[in-house]
Structure 1
Amino acid sequence: MAAFIIANGAAAMGDDVTMFFTFWGLNALRKPENIKVKKSFLQGMFGKMMPRGADKLGISKMNFGGMGAAMMKTVMKQQNVTTLPELIQTAKEQDIKMIACTMSMDVMGIREEELIDGLEFAGVATYLGEADEANVNLFI
């Protein structure tokens, strides 16, 4: 969530923004529905164990079996804080470039069709190329 708040803020200020999603960060980009694709046994297990979509993500070590996320969402709603799915939609509307790490996708068995629309797919060299050109680079 913090990454999307910062990215949207920077884009609103007129900055070009690129976000690179690797390993567990890819879960925020997964479609919520179960997409049937051919996977190895281990990749299938990864898919079943990981949350599918931004609404299903836990809250770090404060998850408490889902209660932490529910409590945080309640407080955020009371305080009119933008939700993660809304932040992702705003990022798309602001033309924030979102890149899914293809190596992480291969390891975890995540296929392009399982991820939200509007993403680019590349490896770490693309991220490093973007970072080399950036005035600011954050790794969260």
Structure 2
Amino acid sequence: MGEKAVIVLHSGDMDKVYSALIIGNGALAMGMEASIYFTFWGLMRLKKGELEKGPLSKMNMMGMGRQMIKKRMDKANVASLERLMSDYKELGGKIIACEMTMEIMGITKEELRTEWVDEWGAVGSYIQEARDANITLFI
């Protein structure tokens, strides 16, 4: 069994989604397995057309802070969230969508980017992933 990184993405904030995907891609690039468990507001980013829509966690300033950060990221040639997700999936990264969150928030599978989701699960799915992980993160 190889090394594994497991990330719980609880937040849907743009910068935190970036962090989860960058760390996940880094783990995969280093030969590790990687899983991201999307739950609560993090799950919202799996909705069709919503990956890039999260607010900035600090200094959002009614969206102006987010726009300023995006402009700086574009200038620095930082990959988009769509690109990072595409890379993550191409490298073999696993996505788990929280079924409990879906039920609580009234989200259906049809509303999500199902091509990204490898597993529909509850806390037991996360625990199964995390029990043999070398790295676990809560973002």
- The answer as to 2:98 corresponding to 1:101 is yes
- The answer as to 2:137 corresponding to 1:138 is yes
2:72 to 75, 90, 100: 75
Name the SS of the counterpart of 1:62 in structure 2: coil
- Tell me the alpha carbon deviations over residues 96-118 of structure 1, each in whole angstroms, 9 at most, x when there is no partner: 10000000110011111111123
- The answer as to 2:123 corresponding to 1:124 is yes
Give the TM-score of the pair, scaled to structure 2: 0.83
Name the SS of the counterpart of 1:107 in structure 2: helix
Partner of 2:23: 6
Consecutive unaligned residues in structure 1, runs of 5 or more: 33-52
- Tell me the alpha carbon deviations over residues 32-66 of structure 1, each in whole angstroms, 9 at most, x when there is no partner: 1xxxxxxxxxxxxxxxxxxxx11211101321111
The offset of 1:27, in angstroms, is 1.5
How many residue pairs get aligned? The number is: 120
Query: What's the RMSD between the two structures over aligned residues?
Result: 0.9
Larger strand percent: 2
Name the SS of the counterpart of 1:60 in structure 2: coil
Q: How does 1:29-108 map to 2 (within 5 A)?
A: 29-32=46-49, 53-108=50-105
CA distance in 2, matches of 1:28, 1:81: 19
- Tell me the alpha carbon deviations over residues 14-40 of structure 1, each in whole angstroms, 9 at most, x when there is no partner: 1011110100001211101xxxxxxxx
Paired residue type of 2:46 = L
Name the SS of the counterpart of 2:77 in structure 1: coil
Consecutive unaligned residues in structure 2, runs of 5 or more: 1-17
* Runs of 4+ more than 2 Å apart: none
Give the TM-score of the pair, scaled to structure 1: 0.82
CA distance in 2, matches of 1:76, 1:13: 24
The offset of 1:7, in angstroms, is 0.3
